[in-house]
Amino acid sequence: MFFLRSLIKQFFFRTINKMAVPWAFIFILFPLLMQSQNKPIEVKGLIIDEFKTPIPYVAVGIVEKNMGIASTEDGEFSFLISNSELQDTLTISSLGFDSFKIIVEDYLKLDDKTIVLSETTTKLNEVYVLSPIGYVLSAIKHLKGNTLSEPHKLEILYRRATTENNRPKFFVEHYLHVRDKGPCYPPGVVQVLEGRKSADYRIYKGTQWQHSIIALFNVNPLRPHDSQHSRNLKKFYWTRIGDSSYEGEDVMIIQGQNPKIDWERITFYIGIDSFKVYRIERGPSLFVYKKHNSGKLVLSYFKNEWKLKKHMIPERFHGTDAEISHYKTEAFISNISTDKKEYRRIYAYGIDTDMGKLELPYNADFWKNLNMPPDTKFYQRIKEGLEGNFGVSLEQQYELVNR
């Protein structure tokens, strides 16, 4: 692309100097030149450790401009930039590994875009001051200062799949904007902008009373909310289960047990010096945070899963595959903006409706040109399962089902 752009430039300026062709042709050629300069550039690659094992959920991007994405479970990543970002620094950060930095243009010139991260040697041992509960309480106390707590816009690709007896039966994908203030505050304003869904092969076509992205807020144990997921973390039994690191800071891995619910365990990855919470695991849910250009943390990746309890399934469907129904979701957070003009444009739409019931005009070109992450294992399993039901490709299902 750079070679082609150079040739066009040379031809363009030689033409002007020699006046060898009509001016009309110059005016035709100039937009083509500008288009080639503004064409998005894909930055993609694979992140592995020294044993060639893929590293999942790594924060990859240009921190200074809050651009980027999380790597998939397979360590793959992909996001788009423009020519104006070529001289910026590509930063790759993950818990337990030394950070990797390289100029974007230099990275694009590499023949092999496999990035090998070196594991950080943790020397924390017993050198810490607070008890595990002390670190949890300190993390809560410093949450507002450690996370991006001013209004901002999140661009999110949100996916939900429904399985019956572990077989994929329905898939919905939404692109949305959220006006948020971080985990120190209640849920923000959600605006669903684009959507598409597969054919619905479910036996029981149940609906949720609201958009399932609400789980991104409600199952986070640090968020203030009134849902059934709200927990008094002071009453958990907290123990230190390991150590890690993040960009040079020692990180303590602390697990809490709910004294009233046997299955509920919450794991925090907390910075020893800053009390920043870099990662949260709560049952099947996962929150991964990355650094904003302000140095504060913002959400990078989220996934969750929950089973429909038997009493939620109409009795007439008991004994069928529908009796074992699961919702599985994941969310990739890409661009983040604190520009007032951008986040003030967001208005509530779609939050009070089940994802599968929300009717949106299908914009095939939008999905074709969207900066999509590489196919995750989650997406691959769902796609293969849905296509295997009746031998219809997922793309065909999108075209047939969505209007």
- In this structure, the answer to whether residues 94 and 234 fall within a common structural domain is no
- Domain containing 283: what range? 132-401
Q: Could you give the CA distance from residue 28 to residue 159 in angstroms, rounded to a whole number?
A: 42
Q: Does some domain include residue 28?
A: no
Q: Could you give the CA distance from residue 56 to residue 373 in angstroms, rounded to a whole number?
A: 13
- In this structure, the answer to whether residues 158 and 186 fall within a common structural domain is yes
- In this structure, the answer to whether residues 312 and 264 fall within a common structural domain is yes
Q: Tens of pLDDT along 80-136?
A: 999 999 999 999 999 999 999 999 999 999 999 999 999 987 766 666 678 999 999
User: Would the CA dihedral through 306, 312, 315, 316 be positive or negative?
Assistant: negative
Q: Does some domain include residue 9?
A: no
Q: Tens of pLDDT along 20-62?
A: 445 555 555 555 545 555 688 999 999 999 999 999 999 999 9
pLDDT more than 90, % of the chain: 77
Other CB atoms within 10 A of residue 149 CB:
16
pTM of the model: 0.88
Q: Tens of pLDDT along 156-180?
A: 999 999 999 999 999 999 999 999 9
Which amino acid, residue 228?
A: Q
Q: Give me the number of domains the chain comprises.
A: 2
Q: Does some domain include residue 35?
A: no
Q: Could you give the CA distance from residue 270 to residue 253 in angstroms, rounded to a whole number?
A: 6
> What pLDDT sits at residue 2?
42
Q: Does some domain include residue 125?
A: no
- In this structure, the answer to whether residues 316 and 390 fall within a common structural domain is yes
Range in 85-89, 161-165, 251-255, 261-265 with the lowest mean pLDDT: 261-265
User: Would the CA dihedral through 125, 130, 132, 138 be positive or negative?
Assistant: negative
**Residues 6+ away with beta carbon under 8 Å from 188:** 178, 179, 180, 181
- Is there a contact between 219 and 304 (Cβ–Cβ < 8 Å)? yes
CATH code of 84's domain = 2.60.40.1120
Confidence category of residue 371, pLDDT binned at 50, 70, 90: confident
192-208 mean pLDDT: 95
Average pLDDT, the chain: 89
> What pLDDT sits at residue 152?
96
Q: Could you give the CA distance from residue 73 to residue 206 in angstroms, rounded to a whole number?
A: 29
Confidence check: pLDDT of 1 > 50 = no
- In this structure, the answer to whether residues 149 and 237 fall within a common structural domain is yes
Q: Tens of pLDDT along 138-152?
A: 999 999 999 999 999
User: Would the CA dihedral through 220, 221, 224, 226 be positive or negative?
Assistant: positive
281-304 mean pLDDT: 95
